[in-house]
Structure 1
Amino acid sequence: MLTYTIRRLLLAIPTLLLISLVIFLLVDLAPGSPMSEIPLTVPPEVRLKMIQAMGADQPVFVRYLLWLKQFFIVEPSYIIDGWFGTNLGGDQQRILSWQSRAPVFDVIGQRLPQTLTVVGTAYLVGILIALPIGIYSAYRQYSWFDQLGTFFAMVGYSVPTFFTGVLFIVIFSVNLHWFPSIYDTTLKVTDWASFWKQVHQMALPVMVLALFNAAEISRYTRSSMLENLGQDYARTARAKGMSERTVVLKHVLRNSMIPVVTIIALGMPAVFGGAIITEQVFKVNGIGAALIGAIHANDLPMVQTLTFIFAVLIVLFNLIADILYGILDPRIRYD
């Protein structure tokens, strides 16, 4: 397993380099340029300095190398004298957002806690709801619980989150006045009172996202469980006198989790990427809202950086899923 992990990590390096090149070229060669955003009132010498600082006077491949190099700069001290894409002073260069004039990684660092708090909690709640529903629906196939679980999954997966979000706002916020409709991103958790206020305002967006995630994961869990409940090893375990609880939860569930782990692992990058639609509905100032704002403002450095971070997370969680396969099923060997 260790050899396989090292081999996959080494293979991920050229993969990510190729992905970064494709992302940079697609965004950099798209219509729109930082030079077009510079006001005409900027003096010519300042304009020239800004062009040189951003590397806009260099060939495309040189600009790509400069952009890629900035991901490995960890020096915290920098001077922001420029406007778009980088700083004009100091030895270190930082990727700057054209929209906010702040370093891209600083903007991401400010938005990420909001996204992880709301979207991460919703994903965890969705998993905790989906697994028991999927397991019991498969074990009691065609029962009233299975029928209810199927209806729940179909509704949760087919209804878009923007409709569910607005519906929840109308019911629970406007009519019942139970929860706020707008998420307060300035709230700081310092004591139990602020903690419960945070939980209170998270309720609606978490319910919307958890419903969608639970619907998908529960269907995969049910399908995988049904496939394994009829396998020979399950019948053999029952013939040996094992209890039904042991057969289902120890043997069948462990083998059934392999496709479920794939779905959960591939969904994890979306936790860091944010829920674009739901964040817009509830005014959550997270990564998804930052990406939408960057696209509207033609903020190429922000779009490039966020897209590449998503690609890194997808490659990473694919590796984690492959490692979990070997843990769940001892028959799987990579060495």
Structure 2
Amino acid sequence: MLTFTIRRLVLAVPTLLFISLVIFGLLQLAPGDPMAQVPLTVPPEVKQKMREALGLGDAWYIQYWKWIVQFFWVEPQVFLDYVFGTNFSEGKLRVLSWQTRSPVMEIVVQRLPQTLWVVGTAYVVAVLIALPIGVYSAYRQYSVFDNVGTFVSMIGFSVPPFFSGVLVIVIFSVNLGWFPSIYDTTHRVVDWDSFVVQLQQMIMPVMVLALQITAQIARFMRASMLDNLNQDYVRTARAKGLGERVVVLSHVLRNSMIPVVTVIALGIPQIFGGAIITEQVFKVNGIGQLLITAIQANDLPMVQTLTFIFAVLIVLFNLIADVLYGILDPRIRYD
């Protein structure tokens, strides 16, 4: 397992380099000029100096090299400085946002906690709900519970976040007045009362995100359980006199989790992209809203950095899913 993990980490390097080159190339071909928002009264020679300060006067391969070095070497040090209060990145060249003229990673780490509050909670809640629903729906196939679960899952698949988000705002915020319609990103949790306020403003965006995730994982869990419940090893376990709880939870569930692990692992980076719409609806000042703002302002350094972060997460959680395969199924050996 260790050899396989190291080999996959080594192979991830050229994969990420290729992805970064594609992202950089596509964004370089995108229309727009960062100097377009500069007032017309600014002299051309000042605009030229501004372009040089942003690194736009260099050749494309020099810009790409600087971005890669800063992303893989400087920006991780910035993250460590933010988390542990160190000063590893002090005085080093940084990737600057064209819109704010501030280092990109500093803006990202400032927005990240808001996204993790909402997206992380929604994903944990969805997984904890979806797995029991999928297991019980498969075990009680075609029962009332299974039919209701199928109906709710179809709604979760069909209703887009921009519709369900507005719907819950109208119901729970406008009509009932239970929860705030706008997420207050300036709120800080310092005591129990502030924690309750944080939970209240998280409920609606978490509800919208969790509905989609629950529907997807529950359907995969149900299908995988149904496929394993009719296998010979299940009939053998029952013939040996094992209890139904042991058969379902110890034998069937473990084998059924193998394909579901892929959905759960790969869904983590995808939900960051899916949270873009939800963050826009509830005004959550997180990574998703930052990406939308950067696209609208033609802020290429911010867009390419956030897009590449999503790509890194996908490659990383692909590796995590493959490692979990070997843990769940002893028959799978990578060495």
- TM-score (structure 2 length as normaliser): 0.92
Report 1:195-214 matches (<5 A): 195-214=195-214
Q: Distance in 2 between matches of 1:218 and 1:171?
A: 26
Work out whether 1:105 is the aligned partner of 2:105. yes
- TM-score (structure 1 length as normaliser): 0.92
Report 1:101-250 matches (<5 A): 101-250=101-250
Residues 27 and 300 in structure 1, CA contact (< 8 A), matched pair in contact too: yes
Residues 120 and 271 in structure 1, CA contact (< 8 A), matched pair in contact too: no
Q: Shift of residue 103 of structure 1?
A: 1.1
Q: Distance in 2 between matches of 1:189 and 1:56?
A: 42
Q: Shift of residue 52 of structure 1?
A: 3.1
Residues 70 and 94 in structure 2, CA contact (< 8 A), matched pair in contact too: yes
Q: Deviations over 1:41-77 (max 9, x none)?
A: 445554443333333222211211111122122576x
Residues 156 and 215 in structure 1, CA contact (< 8 A), matched pair in contact too: yes
SS at 1:327 equivalent: helix
Q: Shift of residue 231 of structure 1?
A: 0.5
Q: Shift of residue 276 of structure 1?
A: 1.0
Q: Shift of residue 271 of structure 1?
A: 4.3
Aligned residue identity for 1:73: V
Report 1:1-335 matches (<5 A): 1-43=1-43, 46-71=46-71, 72-73=73-74, 92-273=92-273, 275-335=275-335
Q: Relative to structure 2, which stretch is displaced further, 164-173 or 40-49? A: 40-49
Give 2:87's aligned residue. Answer: none
Aligned length: 322
Task: Pick closer, same or farther for the CA change 1:226–1:214 going to 2, 3 Å.
Answer: same
SS at 1:8 equivalent: helix
Give 2:84's aligned residue. Answer: none
Q: Deviations over 1:280-308 (max 9, x none)?
A: 11111111100111111111111010001
Residues 54 and 98 in structure 2, CA contact (< 8 A), matched pair in contact too: no
Residues 134 and 222 in structure 2, CA contact (< 8 A), matched pair in contact too: yes
Residues 257 and 328 in structure 2, CA contact (< 8 A), matched pair in contact too: yes
Residues 73 and 94 in structure 1, CA contact (< 8 A), matched pair in contact too: yes
Task: Pick closer, same or farther for the CA change 1:35–1:169 going to 2, 3 Å.
Answer: closer
Aligned residue identity for 1:282: F
SS at 1:73 equivalent: helix
Q: Distance in 2 between matches of 1:212 and 1:271?
A: 10
% identity of equivalent residues = 70
Q: Any gaps of 5 or more consecutive residues in structure 2?
A: 79-89
Q: Relative to structure 2, which stretch is displaced further, 41-50 or 10-19? A: 41-50
Q: Distance in 1 between matches of 2:230 and 2:244?
A: 13
Q: Shift of residue 272 of structure 1?
A: 4.3
Aligned residue identity for 2:191: D
Residues 54 and 96 in structure 2, CA contact (< 8 A), matched pair in contact too: no
Residues 274 and 286 in structure 1, CA contact (< 8 A), matched pair in contact too: no
Aligned residue identity for 2:185: T
Q: Distance in 2 between matches of 1:29 and 1:53?
A: 21
RMSD across aligned positions (CA):
1.6
Give 1:83's aligned residue. Answer: none
Q: Relative to structure 2, which stretch is displaced further, 101-110 or 32-41? A: 32-41
Q: Distance in 2 between matches of 1:205 and 1:91?
A: 39
Q: Any gaps of 5 or more consecutive residues in structure 1?
A: 77-89
Q: Shift of residue 92 of structure 1?
A: 2.8
Aligned residue identity for 2:223: S
Q: Distance in 2 between matches of 1:200 and 1:304?
A: 34
Q: Distance in 2 between matches of 1:167 and 1:161?
A: 9
SS at 1:96 equivalent: coil
Aligned residue identity for 1:332: I
Q: Distance in 1 between matches of 2:4 and 2:39?
A: 53
Q: Distance in 2 between matches of 1:282 and 1:53?
A: 36
Show structure 1 runs of 4+ deviating over 6 A: none
